[in-house]
Structure 1
Amino acid sequence: MSVRIKAVVDRFVKELQEALDADIQDRVMKEREMQSYIQEREREVAEREAAWKAELSRREAEIARQEARLKMEKENLEKEKSVLMGTASNQDNQDGALEITVSGEKYRCLRFSKAKK
């Protein structure tokens, strides 16, 4: 009877060891799958982050271009305003010329013509 008990116990230990080995193998496989999944997700996130940063950089460059264009337009507007805001005075000169002073500089206009419509 003792031989039978020993055989049953040995078989139980062997089955238990096999089940334990299978469980360990399963856990190792699951760990590898999880690591692979994590690496893939990290790669996807890094790609999205790089794309987002590239888009942000492109938008910042566009904003800088627009700001430069607006600055130029503002400077041109200020120049136009200074020309338009110049003072004109009709001097009763001998030649009948109109004198216009713009930004401290005098201009003389001898002939006038009506604008065509």
Structure 2
Amino acid sequence: MDVFVVGSDGEMQVLDVPAGSSDLAGFERWRTRVWGSEVVRSLGARFFPVLAGADVQVDVEQVPAFLRECILLRENLEKIVAGTVPARTVEEHRDVISRRLANIEDAARRAQTLGGGVLIW
């Protein structure tokens, strides 16, 4: 997952991940098992479920809606944990989902500050 800006030439520039931040959004299988899961879809999420079949590009004008979706997932973390299959214990599953969601939230806030967007690939 990365933050990007569009340069004056119209070209997308993917920014380096700053020290202290992480670009980890989850394991590859999470595209379908977590972010694209039925429980996430049932919450009304529209960005995250796209990961089940494709990468996600959140353009600058979509970042506020994407941040709201991150909040929705954060508020429903227990439902997501209960509705997805843990690789280890439920506690570890909750912790890893929470940390990966925090990475995504951080990237979205950085994008908003910079007038950029987010790529999850």
Q: One fold, TM greater than 0.5?
A: no
Higher helix share: 1
TM range (shorter): under 0.3
Higher relative contact order (CA 8 A, sep 6+): 2
Q: TM-score, normalised by structure 2?
A: 0.23
Who wins on radius of gyration, i.e. which is larger? 1
**What TM-score do you get using the length of structure 1 for normalisation?**
0.23
